[in-house]
Amino acid sequence: MNTTRSAAAQVAQVAALALLSAACWWGWMAWDHTYHLDPDTGESAGPYQPWQVIGCVLCLIGVAVVATWWMSAWIVIVTMPIAFTTAWGLTAAARDQTGLWALGAMVLVTGMLLGTTVVATGTAVVRRAMRGRRPTAA
């Protein structure tokens, strides 16, 4: 019975991780579709402002750190890029008539995979080091 409860808890954790990863996209950037005119160059830029991208990245880092603290790093490394890219893809595919959103998805999932790997691996190393320093009970 412990195995079933443990498996259910793991599924719930992975589902929560996927939802939080997707929420980073929806909360920070999915709602912005407005391009802005750069006053210095006169060129169109956007649709995202730097503060949105920075906020989204910081949220993703926070989610990855907390998730890696509670579950295996490889689960975080697999789940976050898939969930975030899927959320992005739903928005991009709906607005793109050229089909280039698929190329963007490949670039995004690659970047997410690299970034998540760095953060999750680093967090796992720190977690192991901190657990190794804890005094054991007699």
How far are the Cα atoms of 20, 105, 112, 124 from residue 88, in angstroms, in the given order?
A: 13, 8, 12, 27
Q: 101-131: per-residue pLDDT in tens? A: 999 999 999 999 999 999 999 999 999 998 8
How far is the C-alpha of 9 from the C-alpha of 22, rounded, in Å?
20
Q: 22-49: per-residue pLDDT in tens? A: 999 999 998 887 787 877 888 887 788 8
Cis bond leading into 47, ω under 30°? yes
Q: Please state the pTM of the whole predicted model.
A: 0.85
Q: Where are the domains of the chain?
A: 2-133
Is the pLDDT at 2 greater than 50? The verdict is: no
Is the pLDDT at 132 greater than 90? The verdict is: no
Buried b (16+ CB within 10 A) or exposed e, 19-44: ebbbbbbeebbbeeeeeeeeeeeeee
Identity of the residue numbered 64: A
| Highest-pLDDT range among 68-72, 79-83, 91-95 | 79-83
The set of long-range contacts for 124-129, using a CB threshold of 8 Å and a minimum separation of 24, is: 124/68, 124/73, 127/68, 127/69
